[in-house]
């Protein structure tokens, strides 16, 4: 699986991306938006017509003034016509922008929503290997490109082509084919030069983006691990790594800006050579009596009108190229297949009793490294089954498979006889609640985090869940109560408080199947016992799978399953497993000795 940052490394944002993007100019099933596009195009044509009339009004003013005695009113009328044409061009452009903005924003919104949903649909494997900063940057750049691309293609490229064609017709009629040929040659040289240099700049820009992604990813990673940095006094080390990343970005940015300077210089040289040549030709015609002084002004004004969008055309082409690159990275992200998908027509899971079975399940996170090796596990409805064993035995993998974060490579998992690989994932996850070992909370209020267990949960349900998780007293003692912010990842709360919020969140969900994944292993013994009492109450009348490292927390389970090397080594009640004097007994006595040492240390303190 590729890191998200690597999505920017391939391709150059070419024709396939453009073809995938163009349908957004004509939104399917959106009558209002299509009408806005048509109106905007009509305004483009009206604006261009007004702009092309301006030079003729300007020419007429100069010719009348140089012809001798002319009525003031005639010249003043031409000046008014010139001003009206200028205003009409500006008015058409701005009305066009106002009409089209909704089209661009709607397209960006729809695409951003699709990308966001798809990122959530991607597998846990993808998210474990991605860099959050790089991933969000790809999505941000891609969605921001939508509105810009729509605008440039419809209101810059197309109008410039129309204007070029109109100017060539005018030049042919007024000045002959020579000036038309020179104008087309200049435009061709300009476009070829711009494309060649811009393609070179695109590679420079892509390199700068990759360096920028790495710098942002490194900064985000460092800030997310703020406590670890503090623990090891690594502030200077992190600052040095970040400075190194920023230094690489600075070098790439300098190269990028230098290339931009050369592009602008070359474009200006080409356009000014054409301007000088065309005006010298017109002045020569005037000296021969073929042209009027107004014709010199007409040629100047028409070329200035053409140069304005051509000067922008270089910037537009660069922007479109960069937009295509950014959108290509986003489309590649959208095309990344989800590892776990629903089968076509998959029915919702129907939970009647909550009977969970693992049948000859085999699974490995990587090829050639199998974690579960033909595991059989039966969790009767309404009973509590604990899964214990040494580290790396595959305990937490069971919860990930039950949630369908991954699919087994062999065997199957059933709930009430239904293979979970053949039902809707949403219905499966709605039937399961989990209290994880490491509770991560949203940077929001306590009420929001508890109510997150079920969409639409009200305050009364939140209150009841808080009481059930024995955290209501703590919340009541806070100055802001349920409106208290928990901080990023819940860092303002202690480990025990976060666990109780997680329990309350699961109570709000009220699932028939409960998974407790080492929910107390990170807590001190006193807090652990208090949380354990709460969990015991929560587990009543539910099918419960307890994944535990500390065996003292599962002595009351209806059945204890001991995993070792991906297989069931032992199973039975606590007393029977101790009598068997096998792996469970060995783990129990070892942990009992560790507890004696811990209690002695606590007493000494």
* Residues 446/434, Cβ–Cβ less than 8 Å: no
Size of the chain, expressed as the number of residues it contains: 605
Q: Which letter does DSSP use for residue 156 in this model?
A: I
Dist CA 542 CA 508 (whole Å): 14
DSSP-assigned states of every residue in 497-541: HHHHHHHHHHHHH--SEEEEESTTTTS-HHHHHHHHHHHHHHHTT
Specify which residues 375 forms β-bridges with.
361
Task: Classify each residue of 480-499 as buried b or exposed e, where b means 16 or more C-beta atoms within 10 Å of its C-beta.
Answer: eebebebeeebeebebbbbb
Q: Strand 567-572 and strand 543-547: pairing?
A: unpaired
CATH level 2 (architecture), domain 440-510: 3-Layer(aba) Sandwich (3.40)
Q: What angle do CA 205, 208, 211 make, to 5 degrees?
A: 155
- What's the pLDDT score for residue 417? 93
* Residues 363/401, Cβ–Cβ less than 8 Å: yes
pLDDT exceeds cutoff 80 at 408: yes
Dist CA 389 CA 547 (whole Å): 9
**Identical topology for domains 342-431+511-605 and 440-510:** yes
Q: Where does residue 566 fall: left (phi above 0), alpha (psi -120 to 50 degrees), or beta otherwise?
A: left
pLDDT exceeds cutoff 50 at 561: yes
Q: Report yes or no on whether pTM surpasses 0.85.
A: no
Q: Strand 356-363 and strand 372-379: pairing?
A: antiparallel
Q: Strand 567-572 and strand 559-564: pairing?
A: antiparallel
| Side-chain half-sphere exposure of 309, counting CA atoms within 13 A | 19
Residue 57 CA from chain centroid, whole number: 51
* Residues 150/307, Cβ–Cβ less than 8 Å: no
Per-residue pLDDT of 439-472, as tens digits, reads 788 888 999 999 988 888 888 999 988 888 888 8
Per-residue pLDDT of 35-86, as tens digits, reads 888 888 888 888 888 888 888 877 787 877 776 656 666 667 777 877 887 8
Residue 263 CA from chain centroid, whole number: 32
Burial category of 601 from C-beta neighbours within 10 Å (exposed 0-12, middle 13-18, buried 19 and up): exposed
Per-residue pLDDT of 419-430, as tens digits, reads 999 999 989 989
Per-residue pLDDT of 121-150, as tens digits, reads 776 677 666 665 667 777 777 777 777 777
Cα distances from 71 to residues 65, 74, 99, 294, 593, in angstroms, run: 9, 6, 42, 18, 113
Of 97, 116, 134, 302, the residue nearest 214 (C-alpha): 134
> How does the average pLDDT of the chain come out, rounded?
82
* Residues 206/10, Cβ–Cβ less than 8 Å: no
- What's the pLDDT score for residue 123? 67
Cα distances from 243 to residues 45, 236, 237, in angstroms, run: 51, 10, 10
CATH of 342-431+511-605, one of 3.40.50.300, 2.40.10.340, 2.130.10.10, 3.40.640.10: 3.40.50.300
Quick check: helix, strand or coil at residue 584? Answer: helix
Dist CA 265 CA 545 (whole Å): 70
Residue of 181 and 108 predicted with greater confidence: 181
Per-residue pLDDT of 316-365, as tens digits, reads 776 777 778 788 888 888 778 877 888 899 999 999 999 999 999 999 88
Fold (topology level) of 4-335: ABC transporter transmembrane region fold (1.20.1560)
The token pair that represents 247 in the structure block? 């230094």
Give the domain ranges of the chain. 4-335, 342-431+511-605, 440-510
* Residues 379/543, Cβ–Cβ less than 8 Å: yes
Dist CA 62 CA 70 (whole Å): 11
Quick check: helix, strand or coil at residue 414? Answer: strand
Q: Which letter does DSSP use for residue 361 in this model?
A: E
Mean pLDDT of 378-397: 88
Dist CA 424 CA 205 (whole Å): 43
Dist CA 375 CA 413 (whole Å): 10
Per-residue pLDDT of 12-23, as tens digits, reads 456 677 777 677
Q: Strand 356-363 and strand 410-415: pairing?
A: antiparallel
Dist CA 15 CA 197 (whole Å): 19
- What's the pLDDT score for residue 598? 63
- What's the pLDDT score for residue 8? 38
Dist CA 372 CA 408 (whole Å): 9
């Amino acid at each position: 699986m590729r890191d998200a940052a690597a999505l920017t490394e391939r391709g150059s944002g070419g024709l396939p991306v453009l073809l995938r993007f163009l349908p957004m100019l004509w939104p399917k099933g959106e009558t209002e938006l299509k009408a806005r596009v048509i109106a905007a195009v009509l305004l483009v044509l009206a604006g261009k017509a007004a702009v092309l009339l301006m030079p003729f009004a300007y020419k007429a003013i100069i010719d009348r003034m140089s012809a001798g005695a002319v009525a003031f009113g005639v010249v003043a009328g031409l000046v008014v016509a010139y001003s009206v044409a200028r205003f009409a061009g500006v008015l058409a452009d701005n009305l066009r922008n106002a009409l089209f903005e909704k089209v661009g924003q709607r397209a960006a919104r729809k695409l951003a929503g699709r990308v966001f949903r798809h990122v959530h649909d991607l597998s846990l494997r993808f998210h474990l290997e991605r860099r959050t900063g790089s991933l969000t940057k790809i999505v941000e750049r891609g969605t921001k490109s939508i509105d810009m691309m729509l605008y440039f293609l419809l209101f810059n490229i197309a109008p410039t082509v129309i204007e070029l064609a109109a100017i060539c017709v005018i030049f042919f009629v007024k000045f002959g084919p020579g000036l038309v040929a020179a104008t087309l040659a200049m435009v061709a040289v300009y476009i070829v030069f711009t494309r060649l240099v811009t393609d070179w700049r695109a590679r420079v820009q892509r390199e700068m983006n990759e360096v920028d992604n790495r710098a942002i990813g490194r900064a985000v990673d460092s800030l997310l691990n703020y406590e670890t940095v503090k623990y090891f006094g690594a502030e200077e080390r992190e600052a040095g790594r970040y400075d190194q990343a920023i230094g690489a970005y600075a070098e790439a940015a300098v190269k990028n800006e230098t290339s931009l300077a050369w592009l602008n210089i070359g474009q200006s040289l080409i356009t000014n050579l054409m301007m000088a040549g065309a005006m010298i030709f017109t002045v020569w015609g005037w000296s021969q009596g073929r042209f009027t002084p107004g014709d010199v002004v007409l040629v100047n004004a028409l070329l200035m009108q053409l140069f304005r969008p051509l000067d922008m055309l270089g910037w537009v082409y660069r922007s479109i190229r960069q937009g295509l690159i950014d959108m290509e990275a986003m489309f590649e992200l959208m095309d990344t297949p989800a590892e776990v998908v629903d089968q076509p027509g998959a029915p919702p899971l129907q939970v009647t009793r909550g009977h969970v079975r693992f049948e000859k399940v085999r699974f490995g996170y990587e090829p050639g490294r199998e974690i579960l090796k033909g595991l059989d596990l039966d969790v009767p409805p309404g009973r509590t089954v604990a899964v214990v064993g040494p580290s790396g035995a595959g305990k937490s993998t069971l919860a990930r498979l039950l949630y369908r974060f991954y699919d087994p490579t062999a065997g199957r998992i059933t709930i009430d006889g239904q293979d979970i690989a053949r039902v809707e994932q949403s219905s499966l996850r709605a039937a399961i609640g989990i209290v994880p070992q490491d509770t991560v909370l949203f940077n929001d209020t306590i009420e929001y985090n508890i109510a997150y267990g079920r969409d639409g949960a009200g305050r009364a349900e939140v209150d009841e869940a808080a009481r059930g998780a024995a955290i209501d007293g703590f919340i009541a003692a806070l100055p802001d109560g349920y409106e208290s912010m928990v901080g990023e990842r819940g860092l303002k709360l202690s480990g025990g408080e976060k666990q109780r919020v997680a329990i309350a969140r699961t109570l709000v969900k009220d699932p028939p199947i409960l998974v407790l994944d080492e929910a107390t292993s990170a807590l001190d013994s006193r807090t652990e016992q208090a949380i354990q009492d709460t969990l015991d109450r929560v587990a009543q009348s539910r099918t419960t799978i307890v994944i535990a490292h500390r065996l003292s927390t599962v002595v009351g389970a209806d059945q204890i399953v001991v995993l070792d090397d991906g297989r069931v080594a032992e199973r039975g009640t606590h007393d029977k497993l101790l009598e068997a004097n096998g792996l469970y007994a060995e783990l129990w006595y070892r942990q009992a000795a560790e507890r004696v040492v811990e209690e002695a240390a606590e007493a000494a303190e």
